[in-house]
Copies of this chain bind each other. A is one copy, B any other.
Amino acid sequence: MRHNFNSGPSILPASVLAEASAAIYNFNNTGLSILEIGHRTSWFQEVVAEVQATVKQLMQLSDDYEVLLLHGGATTQFMQVPMNLLNANDTAAYCDNGIWGNKAIKEAKVWGNVNVVASSADQKHSYIQKQFTIPNDACYLHYTSNNTVEGTQWHQPPTSHVPLVADMSSDIFCRPWAFNQHSLIYAGAQKNIGAAGVTLVVVKKSILGTLERTIPAIMDYRNHIEAGSLLNTPPVFAVYVMLLTLRWIVAEGGLTVMETRAKERAAYLYQLLDELSIFTPTVVTEDRSLMNAVFTLPNASLEKTFLELCKQHGMIGIKGHRSVGGLRVSMYNAMPMQSVQALGDLMIAFNKSHQ
């Protein structure tokens, strides 16, 4: 049996895979593959409408918000957010809590001024800097809710008197969240809400349309809103897999159930990391991520040995990100507790045999 601890693209529910595979032969009894249907058919428009409605339901959002399904990944949003929200002479506030937030900062600087109001760089991003002041004239505050690479996570959204923008790519829908405190939320699908190839963008309409810049048509959120997320050919299959994944979240019991499971997995794993002397978790207790647990072993040789052992037991994706090294266990929504326990058993045995 495989235990898939990939950081993304990552594990998906078995039922989602079964339905996705079947739809490639026959989508929704149309006699056509999901890969062969036009995106302007009523068949696909119903898929888009159900995704949009389910996202709004899970986020408990009013009609002030629009749900968009875009190409390009979160990395494209690093550009698209300031393109739409930041005038050339204005300033946006950004939190620097790791590699992805830094990339967002770099791209925002192409379009206007950036004020990095908080940074955890002094401690290698092993915590979340939560104490900071946002300038009154900031157009928005941007934060990364979960730092996939460093293994830190916000457990309450930052308090902000300016529009709040969140990159939630790696922890969206892992728990209830104050989504309605945000003006813009984006997330690549390939962790908690589907397969790579589609990006969820949720935007409060009132923040759009205030810029002087000419926004390229494909980058202007207003055009996507007007076109009902069908401005150009969308990534049809990825949108459909998102629908299947959202249906699964709802059927399992919604965000409170996702949270219960996430906390159970994380509590079990972090307890072992704290108790077993051979493993050292790298993140301060209060900011540890429910999704990505990062830790080290005493030396590179032991890390290699442990990774090899994991591989022998069908456990994959545990090597740390190439930028920080160490080890990382990713436990997204679809991760069964049994896989985490199987890993735990291996960790206990490994610790014992290396005393």
A interface residues (Cβ-Cβ under 8 A, vs B): 2, 4, 6-12, 17-18, 20-22, 24-25, 31-33, 35-39, 71-76, 78-79, 103, 106-107, 110, 188, 190, 195-198, 214, 216-219, 231-238, 241, 314, 316-317
Contact = CB atoms under 8 A, between A and B. Distances in A.
A33 to B, nearest CB: 5
A35 B241 contact: yes
Contact of A317 (B38, B106, B218): B38
CB-based closest 9 A-B pairs: A197-B235, A75-B232, A21-B24, A35-B195, A79-B216, A71-B72, A197-B197, A71-B71, A196-B236
A38 B9 contact: yes
Contact of A17 (B12, B35, B236): B35
A106 B38 contact: no
Contact of A188 (B21, B219, B233): B233
B233 A6 contact: no
Contact of A234 (B7, B110, B196, B241): B196
Contact of A236 (B20, B35, B197): B197
Given A18-B25, A38-B317, A237-B238, 4 more contacts: A9-B37, A17-B36, A21-B25, A107-B216
Contacts of A32: 2, 4, 316
A80 B25 CA distance: 35
Main secondary structure of the interface of A (DSSP, over half): loop
B36 A218 contact: no
Contact of A24 (B10, B17, B232): B17
A72 B75 CA distance: 12
Nearest to A219: B79
Nearest to A76: B218
| A71, A195, A196: residue with the most chain B Cβ atoms closer than 10 Å | A196
Nearest to A314: B31
Contact of A238 (B11, B72, B103, B235): B235
